[in-house]
Structures are given as structure tokens and as C-alpha cells.
Amino acid sequence: MTTDDPHAGHGDVTLALAEQLPDGGVLYQSWPICACRLPALREGLGPPRHQSLATREQAEATGRAVREVNSGVKLEGGQ
């Protein structure tokens, strides 16, 4: 069976945006996009101002620590 979906078989990645608000807060948003769009996005955006890399173990430890803090953050959408 063939498909006309140009993204079939590609992985998903998360595009995230953090916007500084006038009151000093921060609005975080994210979108799932096809991994094949990353090269064009990176080319259009240029070099990142900040970048970080974490091992799976580090990312999981960070996630556990964040979940344990009562920050009052309300998560909307997603899973």
C-alpha cells in the first residue's frame, strides 16, 4: 500500500516557543511537527542563541524533579 503523505515514516519532534511577557512572566507553547522540517527551520532561524543537550537519564531526572515541585503551573493541551 502506498501513501501520498510526504511525512509518512518520519519521526515527530516538538517545536517549542518561550515568549517573555510584559509583566515578566513567560508563555511557553509547543507544537508537534515532522522531523523532516527541522533542517529548513534551522536554516531559516540561523544559529541558536542557547542550546542544551541532556542524556535520557538527565532528562528523566529533571522531569521527576519538576513533577515534585508545587509550582502552580497549569498544563493545557497535550498529554
Task: Encode pLDDT of 28-77 as tens digits.
Answer: 999 999 999 999 999 999 999 999 999 999 999 999 998 888 777 777 77
Do the bridges between strand 26-34 and strand 12-20 make them parallel or antiparallel, or are there none, so unpaired?
Answer: antiparallel
Residue 5 and residue 8: Cα distance in Å, rounded? 5
Count, in order, helices (H) and strands (E) of the chain: 2, 2
**What is the reported pTM?**
0.57
Predicted confidence (pLDDT) at residue 79 exceeds the cutoff of 60: no
Closest-CA residue to 73 (of 8, 23, 22, 26) = 26
3-class secondary-structure state, position 15: strand
